[in-house]
Amino acid sequence: MKNLSRWYVAVVLITLATFVAGTGCKKKGADPFPKSNAVAGWEKTDETRVFAAKDLWQYIDGDAEQYVAAGVVNAATSDYKYQGQLEAVVDVFTMADAGGAAKVMGAGQADAKSVQLGDAGVQQAQSVIFRKGPHYVRIVAYEATPDGPQALLALAKAVEVKL
């Protein structure tokens, strides 16, 4: 009976460990870009493009240097549109480690409001920026609208939970 209990506990623990590991692996490879309508009002309007560190210049030209210097592994980007009008871009930079993400995010931005996102987040009228572990995320809208900040924050939160 005792042996049976031990076996039972072992099976449960193994199952649990497998589940956790599986969830972790799934989360690591998870697409951080919310699908259309996963966030109220937001439509994903473009394919996700991924740039390896060596090719990052194709996306952001000279800007790539600062990310390379901070140890970027890759960058992924996609376009979104809110309520058919407000266009925005989501950039997810995956760095070698959390230190790299902190480095590119920098010390802070003037006039930016702190928001509870990841390990650190700030928001301005047309952008939300945060870092979580090795990920540095920029979400930028192309124009300012009254409901833009709230919408951007909602999108950012949806990205954050996927990281």
Q: Could you say whether residue 74 binds another protein (CB under 8 A)?
A: no
Q: Could you say whether residue 62 binds another protein (CB under 8 A)?
A: yes
Phi-psi map region of 13: left, alpha, beta (phi>0 left; psi -120 to 50 alpha): alpha
Q: Could you say whether residue 83 binds another protein (CB under 8 A)?
A: no
Q: Could you say which of 87, 98, 103, 153 contacts another protein (CB under 8 A)?
A: 87
d(CA 129, CA 139): 6
Q: Which of residues 1-60 bind another protein (CB under 8 A)?
A: 57, 60
Q: Which of residues 119-148 bind another protein (CB under 8 A)?
A: 124-127, 140-144
Least distance from another protein to the Cβ atom of residue 51, Å: 12
Q: Could you say whether residue 63 binds another protein (CB under 8 A)?
A: yes
Q: CA angle 63-67-73, nearest 5°?
A: 130
d(CA 49, CA 58): 11
Least distance from another protein to the Cβ atom of residue 131, Å: 17
| Extended strands (E) in 45-85 | 49-52, 72-82
d(CA 66, CA 12): 47
Q: Residue count at the site for another protein (CB under 8 A)?
A: 22
Interface residue list for another protein (CB under 8 A): 57, 60-66, 87, 89, 109, 111-112, 124-127, 140-144
